[in-house]
Structure 1
Amino acid sequence: RNSHIFKITPLIGKLCDLLLKYPESGSWCPGRVSVRCGQLVVWAKEGGNGIRAATVRLPLRHLSLRAGPLPNSLALCRGNNVVLTMQV
């Protein structure tokens, strides 16, 4: 299973703008990310390429942070399985 890849642009405060890459199509979509109530919350904004707005909530409990498989990336893992890759 392919994990989603996020390119993050840091902002001051609790929200970050990011670009979401969809593994199925390889297309990118703007979004935002935040940590709330122990969950990583990702909002995908609707783009001109027909991608609909969506919200994903990923509970952070039982996940670990490791060096990611891509250059300048971090990975959230559950055991040895990569759940999410974040590339700065």
Structure 2
Amino acid sequence: MFQHIKKWRLYQEADNVLGTIYTIQLSAVYHSRSIVVTFKDVSAVTIRDMETLTDLSDGFLNIKMQPQGMLYLVEEWEEQTFRFYCRQYEVTEAE
């Protein structure tokens, strides 16, 4: 569960293996610590309401591996504000 989404960013970048991919970077507060979650090779992005997304105060981030293999379904579980697929993700603590 994260307490507050501080920043949400979708952008294109070059990948040495895959070519051009989409990446989502999500900055949030988790247990009173600032974290950054980076999702690589993003597809099928659905955002219900951008204003709701920036004002989201609490939420459950659900990341579930799909039966197809190295593909993850990422969604905000409680409010269903956003949903997308990615091939990899990493969580880092913000400095």
Q: TM-score, normalised by structure 1?
A: 0.31
* Structure with more relative contact order (C-alpha pairs < 8 Å, separation 6 or more): 2
Q: Which has the higher helix share?
A: 2
Q: TM-score, normalised by structure 2?
A: 0.30
